[in-house]
Structure 1
Amino acid sequence: MSEETVTDLADLGAIAETPAAPAAPTMPLREKQIDAQGRAYATGRRKDAVARVWIKPGSGKITVNGRDQDVYFARPTLRLVIDQPFQIADRAGQYDVIATVKGGGLSGQAGAVKHGIATALTKFEPALRSVVKAAGFLTRDSRVVERKKYGKAKARKSFQFSKR
């Protein structure tokens, strides 16, 4: 261990240029979680929708409730929502997705599938966790519809007030 004294800024620059000891290779904190068929499983939730998602290496085919994603999610915006985790991780067309979705409407179901794909992707490739987490795809969007209260027209809207 050599101690160097710094007398001016030039000495400081010379010390900074000397290479430090090589850092130990960083290992992912989590390990790969795959089942016997080589698939990663995750559950995604959004509003009242719950999606069970399995991903495996493949050609990029996405099947939802036994139907192709183009048939099940007819709106292009919903298909874009589902593809977001793959686009962020630069893994478009590399994984096949099989999902079963129950509850909610189509928008909530698309969000649930997106959440499930992002979680399953991090289980299959733990190194992608930081990228997917930074995009906010691992957080469950917990906003749900507020229930209707008695004496109200809707959750908060009152009936029209009559002065006389």
Structure 2
Amino acid sequence: MKDIDEVPDQEDKLRRVRSYVPGFMGYGSEDNIRDAERLMRIQISQKIALARRELDVARESMLEEGLRAEVDEIDGVINILRRVDGEICHSDAGYCKSDGTQGLSHNDIDNLYEYDARLLEHMGTMLRLAGEIRSSAMAGDIPISLKLLDDLRGELSIFEEMFIRRMSVIGRR
């Protein structure tokens, strides 16, 4: 009966992922996994691009004020976002190994849904922080911008660690 008890929990996790990724069908079959992985990569990459654009605006604002050290701080975070985007979107086999869900247990698939939902939630937080950095930089509140930039770095670190753990579930890394 354990499998029957786990189904509602797995459906809740799938529902959480679907709230972020329209059209996400889940990892129910080998055909679905390729589409699901592609949709996840696209969604995360789009959010990373939005965060980078927000930081680019903040960077330009600081550059206009001659704040070179602060610009270097933002550049560092932008470079981390580029690297993370590359790890997620441009690996040889994509976000998941090429043979689909073969060899993954029900528990593994459940963990994938949980990691996916949490990754998307963290990405939303990072996007919000990037917008706040832009707003505070444009308002000239550089101390707040730098504090928010530290918060964003922390979120990025959590995101990267979670991504590594997620990939270990499917046997990569």
TM-score, normalization by structure 2: 0.29
Q: Which has the higher helix share?
A: 2
Q: Which has the higher strand share?
A: 1
Larger Rg computed on CA atoms? 1
TM-score, normalization by structure 1: 0.31
